[in-house]
Amino acid sequence: MTRLSPRLGIALLGGAAMGMAAVAMFAPVESVRAAPAGSCESLTGLTIAEGKIDSAVMVKQGEAITTEAGKPGLPAPAAFCRVHAVLKPTLRSEVKIEVWLPEGAAWNGKLLGAGNGGYGGTLTLPALTMRTGIAKGYAATGSDMGHLSNDVDAKWALNEPEKVVDFGHRANHLAALLAKQVVGSYYPKPLAAAYFHGCSDGGREALNEAQRYPTDYDAIIAGAPANPWTRLMAGFMADHRAAFGKPDSIIPNAKLKLLQTASLAKCDAADGVTDKVIDDPRKCSFDPGVLQCKAGDAADCLTAPQVETARALYRGTVDAKGKSIFPGYMPGAEAVAGTWDLWLTGANAQHGRFSTEFYRYMVHANPAWQPTDYDPIADPKLAAKKFAGILDASADLSAFYKRGGKLILYHGWYDAAIPPENTINYYEDLKRMQRQAASSTRLFMVPGLSHCLGGPGATGFDPLTALDQWRQGGPAPEQMVATRYDNPIFAYFGLPAKALGTRPLCAYPKVARWKGTGSTDDAGNFDCVAPS
């Protein structure tokens, strides 16, 4: 199993009225169309609202695409014009945006917006999605979310309400408007369609685009969305307190293998294939109490406090009466790199880091605030009051659906950053709130997928092609073929990786079931069926 880069895993999560007034200063795409610029470099002379294009240069195929000074970049899959702009929609805003434009003959006539991750702060993560877009012939755009930082740092938000609005939703909207203007100025033919793809915080960004700015994109992909952000941070803090509330509650990294081995032994074969992947872990009634030490502590068992920590993380956040507030995490991949150790139980577990930054710099605006100051009743209410209207996306996508918008949701069952059931709950809310959701949305739950990428299952799939075919008039996707690779991280980046097998991903609630004959590494030997 290839080890997931902790930084990459972390990063993927990785004054509203005044802000909206500033956004309105951008002219609609139709009114800013200009004659084709003729060359990449000439785009620096394009007049844009509330900002400036400070560079436009050609990038050769194979040339390294660097997004942070001093750090290496991946090779460009094709030649493109790289446009960099800085927008200042308010006095305290500074949003860095890039637009990548394939050479004329290579452009497929469409635009791909790319989500960021974590707290944003650079263009590194959007560039990964933009690179995929360029390889497929899309023009592409992304932003740094309006501030400079690393992806787990929220110091930039201290007493900066406009920067929070930029992070919450405005930066991606401005990127869409700017990209459409640049595309209209660079190519002689009009834009045929615009799509957006983001995972983790990028998934939250995707849902905000659909809800707040329904005309920005024609169709959207939201993976493992970190939404609603304010409630997710309350869940993160609850996880942190459960895992580290007392010294004897901490589960050592070496003991995570005990949980994984025991949960797989109980539930792996239930779907008819023993492959170290539990297809629907909700049906696994694994209780970590079976691992409790008979007396004292030992390497091959869990102490009673450690058992209670595991139970709390599986269960999720509950109120005083035991009612669920936020879902928990699934059994089967506790010891997989980039899962529990990175997010939940390790010495530097990211749930504690993300939630502490949120409450310290946004909610309380107090750099001295500590997790021990957290009030599980008052603080989530205060966070929602101050920031739900800026950061959270609602399930009211009626305006997006009304104009024909299509939405693909996906989430990995082995995600230890954002609970998989959170996306299922959002999908069910969509269908309850608007009739069009059933025909205009598809959800794919991915067995064996960790947070956005990696994991022991068939985790390589192509939602963009499925979305494009659907948007172009094809039927709604009922399944996608996913590939298991020897190096899933390389495969995610579009670098050489060996395919080891395929499985179908089925539109929820259907699940893939082996027909009973033929290789279990061939998607053709599986059917998508209603769950038992």
Q: Which residues are catalytic?
A: 200, 415, 451
Instruction: Extract the tokens encoding 59.
Output: 């990038």
**Dihedral in degrees, nearest 10, Cα atoms 337, 343, 346, 350:** 130
The helix (run of H) or strand (run of E) holding residue 110 is strand 110-114
Instruction: Extract the tokens encoding 230.
Output: 């304010």
With vertex at residue 455, the alpha carbon angle to CA 453 and CA 460, rounded to the nearest 5 degrees, is 50
Distance from first CA to last CA of the chain, Å, rounded? 31
Decide if 399 contacts 213 (C-beta within 8 A): no
- HEC string of 52-93 equals EEEEEEEECCCCEECCCCCCCCEECCCCEEEEEEEECCCCCC
Find, among 456, 452, 203, 204, the residue nearest to 332 by Cα: 456
Instruction: Extract the tokens encoding 263.
Output: 């949960």
Report the DSSP beta bridge partners of residue 151.
none
Count of other CB atoms within 10 angstroms of residue 162: 21
Which string of b and e fits 210-247 if b means at least 16 CB within 10 Å?
A: bbbbbebbbbbbbbbbbbbbbbbbbbbbbbbbbbbbee
Q: Calculate Rg over the CA atoms of the chain.
A: 23
DSSP state string for 340-386: HIIIIISTT-HHHHHHHHIIIIIIS--TT--GGG--TTHHHHHHHHH
What type of residue sits at position 282?
R
What is the SS3 assignment for 54? strand
DSSP state, 337? T
Cα–Cα distance measured from residue 45 to residue 39, given in angstroms and rounded to the nearest whole number = 11
Cα–Cα distance measured from residue 396 to residue 383, given in angstroms and rounded to the nearest whole number = 21
What is the SS3 assignment for 47? coil
Size (the chain), residues: 532
Find, among 389, 431, 379, 440, the residue nearest to 212 by Cα: 389
Cα–Cα distance measured from residue 26 to residue 51, given in angstroms and rounded to the nearest whole number = 10
Strand order in the sheet with 51-59: 51-59, 80-87, 95-102, 139-143, 110-114, 193-199, 219-223, 406-412, 441-446
The helix (run of H) or strand (run of E) holding residue 445 is strand 441-446
Find, among 431, 422, 350, the residue nearest to 395 by Cα: 431
